Structure 1
Amino acid sequence: MTYGAPAHTGFDRSSITQQQQAVRQVVETMRQNFWNPMSLNDMAEMANFSPCYFNQVFRSIVGIPPSRYLTALRIDAAKRLLIDTTLRVIDICYEVGYNSLGTFSSRFTELVGISPQGFRELADQDNWRLFQAFLQAQQRALPSIFHSHKQIAMGSVYAHQAAQTPVAIKTQRPATPTLIGLYPLPMPQGKPIAYTIAPASRLYMLPPVADGRYYIFATAFEWSQDPRSFLLLDWQREDLLVGMGDRPLWVRNGRYQNHIDLHLRPMQPTDPPLLSALFYFMVLAQQQLELFVQRS
């Protein structure tokens, strides 16, 4: 079961392995041909399922519909082209399978939380100084934005025992803090509703948010001075761990209703790409807070 997937319900347990193999095969084909149009019927035919049944199986295993997964692959590829090449945004738009620059830019901004050009500029050395200052602050203590007395403890963060990674989650002072975001949908896309960093105690805290149903997502990886390591998070990275709550997080009357622990594990090939520029939002929030304090 992947980080965004609900429990396997409505399916015979004896057929789950066959379903998983079929989905993995389709996902691999999608990864290799994400720029080409691919309908639900096309995907279902690859899996040898009916379209309706395939859609159900895919959502049960992956956590999102196949069409949304394909969109995520395209935007993830666009992120890499923006960082690793000098191609124009309009050329990248066509390269990843879009025919309209407006549609591409809108979808990219929606899923990443920042425009394509804005995302490219994050890797610029001048802009990266903001990130470097944030890293230096992390070496001393958590920034003040994460020390608000209004924060409410929500749960703990644990690393999967089978994870082979340099990310030291269980040490007294982790080498790499865990980034945590709260999202309206069961996958980390766009700007999170709230975000924080799990400190050395492994206890994470989130600020108050409006009433509603949310999904909490965590990621940890080895921090470096290379902007690419923060902006492009690939499932093949050995240092990358992810985790998501096993149920929605409810807020009623301004109070969190349930306690959710997060268990981190290595990403799987079928996991949806990590699109949200969460680290950028954290740095931006810290910068805005410091500017406010200076003006006060």
Structure 2
Amino acid sequence: MQHAVEQAVRIIRERYAEPLSLDDISCAVLVSKFHLLRVFRQVTGVTPGRFLSAVRISEAKRLLHHSDLAVAAISSMVGYDSTGSFTSRFTESVGIPPTQYRQLSRGEGGSAARSPAQGPAGLARCRLRGVVRAAAKPLSPIYIGSFGGPILQGRPSSWTTVEDLGPFALQQVPRGICHLHATMLAAREQPLETVLLTATLGPLHIDPYISSEVELVLCPQNWSTPPVLFAPPGFETLTERVPQPGFKRLSSGFK
């Protein structure tokens, strides 16, 4: 089961610019599309289609940050036929439009205040307590938020930052089902290198009448983890300020 999913993820990451369908991927890994859909979701937490979309937007973020290519060119390079559709999907996933992301990721134009998504009026809100743990010390603030799904994308319904590992509290979490996500930068074993750590927990049932605490354990991403799409305010700028051996911004093409 895992071998087929690994192959499917590899195909998605290598061929994301192509008009890949579930049929294409299942044929390439020699399993039925119904079996692949089931096992892929079990291993990664999402469908192949959502994983593919996340990889495309993640690659677009990289190109926006590290190149001066036009948004229309990047849209085509990551598999979109329409620049308008790409811009809408990018904004929905990352929280800000592509051009603004490029500016903020390079430390240009200040920071964007991205308020939590507003739920229906009158919806009960709750306070959620927990603890965040990791095997490494943070090099950045730890961002923690409640989101609508297993991919760290879109706007959180509630979010906070903490400066160190340990307890946290999320205020005004909407009652109902959500996923908790956390992310931070940490040091690798080698000097001057950093690694992105993430944690996902859910689906969780949030109820104002049930008191509970959660635990988030931050770990390095692996092959089965969908890319992080949401851009916490200032996070890319902070990543850029951390020394990165061999870093060079490109005027065109790939890094």
TM-score by length of 2: 0.78
Measured in 2, the distance between the counterparts of 1:125 and 1:197 equals: 20
**CA contact under 8 A between 2:95 and 2:154: conserved in structure 1?**
yes
Equivalent position amino acid for 1:249 in 2: L
**CA contact under 8 A between 1:112 and 1:275: conserved in structure 2?**
yes
Counterparts in 2 of 1:38 and 1:257: CA distance versus 1, 3 Å: farther
1:140 corresponds to which residue?
none
Higher share of residues assigned helix:
1
**CA contact under 8 A between 2:177 and 2:205: conserved in structure 1?**
yes
**CA contact under 8 A between 1:198 and 1:204: conserved in structure 2?**
yes
Residue in structure 1 matching 2:160, options 196, 199, 206: 196
**CA contact under 8 A between 1:179 and 1:279: conserved in structure 2?**
no
1:30 corresponds to which residue?
12
Measured in 1, the distance between the counterparts of 2:165 and 2:20 equals: 46
Counterparts in 2 of 1:127 and 1:205: CA distance versus 1, 3 Å: same
1:208 corresponds to which residue?
172
Matches within 5 A, 1:162-181: 167-168=136-137, 175-181=139-145
2:252 matches 1:270: no
1:240 corresponds to which residue?
196
Q: Secondary structure at the match of 2:181?
A: strand
Q: Secondary structure at the match of 2:213?
A: coil
Q: CA RMSD in A?
A: 2.5
Q: Secondary structure at the match of 1:274?
A: coil
Residue in structure 2 matching 1:76, options 58, 63, 70: 58
Residue in structure 2 matching 1:56, options 38, 43, 48: 38
**CA contact under 8 A between 2:142 and 2:164: conserved in structure 1?**
no
Q: What stretches of structure 1 of length at least 5 have no aligned partner?
A: 1-18, 132-149, 161-166, 169-173, 224-236, 284-296
Runs of 4+ aligned structure 1 residues displaced above 4 Å come to: 254-257
Counterparts in 2 of 1:127 and 1:263: CA distance versus 1, 3 Å: same
Counterparts in 2 of 1:216 and 1:256: CA distance versus 1, 3 Å: farther
2:94 matches 1:112: yes
**CA contact under 8 A between 1:156 and 1:261: conserved in structure 2?**
yes
Indicate the structure (1 or 2) with the bigger Cα radius of gyration. Answer: 1
1:14 corresponds to which residue?
none
Counterparts in 2 of 1:61 and 1:110: CA distance versus 1, 3 Å: same
Residue in structure 1 matching 2:215, options 251, 261, 266: 261
Task: Note the C-alpha offset of 1:68.
Answer: 0.9
**CA contact under 8 A between 1:192 and 1:278: conserved in structure 2?**
no
Measured in 1, the distance between the counterparts of 2:126 and 2:166 equals: 15
Q: What stretches of structure 2 of length at least 5 have no aligned partner?
A: 113-124, 188-192, 238-255
Post-superposition Cα deviations, 1:13-40, rounded to whole Å, max 9, x if no partner, equal xxxxxx1121111211211111001111
Matches within 5 A, 1:81-160: 81-128=63-110, 130=111, 152=127, 154-160=129-135
Post-superposition Cα deviations, 1:163-193, rounded to whole Å, max 9, x if no partner, equal xxxx41xxxxx55432111101122111111
Equivalent position amino acid for 1:204 in 2: F
Measured in 2, the distance between the counterparts of 1:201 and 1:276 equals: 21
Alignment: residue pair count:
219
Higher share of residues assigned strand:
2
Counterparts in 2 of 1:113 and 1:29: CA distance versus 1, 3 Å: same
Equivalent position amino acid for 2:104 in 1: L
Equivalent position amino acid for 1:156 in 2: V
**CA contact under 8 A between 2:146 and 2:173: conserved in structure 1?**
no
